[in-house]
Structure 1
C-alpha cells in the first residue's frame, strides 16, 4: 500500500500549498511594513520561539510539498526503474540536506 498516492497525495499537496502560500504572504507583508533595521533586529525576529516554530513548520511543509510534486513528475516521466530510483534517491537526499541546513540556521538564530 502506498501512503502518498492518489487522493492522499493530492490533498496533502493542497494543504501544504495553503500553509506555504499564507506564510509567504504574511512574511512578505511583515518585511514590507516593518522590516528589521539591522542584523540584530533580524535575529530578534527569527529567534523568537513562535516565529522559529512557524518557520520550521514552513520549511518542513515546503519540503514535503516539493517531494510530492517531484516524486509525481519522476514517476510519470522517468521510465527505467533504475533511473527512477536514482533520481528519487538524489532528490530525497537533496531535500533532506536542505531541511537539515534550514533547521541548523533556525537553531543558530534561536540561540543567538
Structure 2
C-alpha cells in the first residue's frame, strides 16, 4: 500500500470519527437518562469534570473533522472547475474554523467558571 493513499486516509478518518461520535452520543444519552442535570450549575459542574470536558472537546473535534472530510469529498467529486472548488473549500474551512473557535470558547468558559 502506498503512503500517498489519501483516499484511504480520508475513509479511515471518516469511519473513526463516526464511531467516536456514536459512542459519545450513546454515553451522553445514557448519562442524561440516568442522572439528568437539574439546573445550569449542575450542567456546568458536569461539563467541568476533566474527562467529560475532554470527551466534549474530542466530540467536537471529531465532528468538525467528520464534516470537513465529508464536505471535501463531495466538493471534490461534484465541483470540477478548480477555482470554484478551491473557493468553496476555503469558505467551508473558514466556517468550520469559526465553529471550532466558538466551541473552544464555550468549553473554556464553562470549565473556567
Alignment TM-score, normalising by the size of structure 1 = 0.94
* Structure-2 separation of matches of 1:58 and 1:32: 19
* Structure 2 portions without partners, runs of 5+: none
* 1:63 aligned residue: 64
**Aligned-pair distance for 1:47?**
1.1
How big is the shift at 1:4?
A: 7.6
Give the direction of change, closer, same or farther, for the CA distance of 1:3–1:27 in structure 2 (3 Å limit): farther
Say which SS state the counterpart of residue 35 (structure 1) adopts.
coil
TM-align CA RMSD: 1.5
Unaligned 5+ runs, structure 1: none
Off by >2 Å, runs of 4+ in structure 1: 2-5
Question: Aligned equivalents of 1:86 and 1:69: distance in 2?
Answer: 16
Distance 2:44 2:33 in 1: 17
* CA displacement 1:32-90 (0-9 Å, x = unmatched): 22110000000000111111111101111110011001100000001111110111001
Q: Is residue 10 of structure 1 aligned with residue 14 of structure 2? A: no
Alpha-carbon distance change, 51 to 93 in structure 1, aligned in 2, over 3 angstroms: same
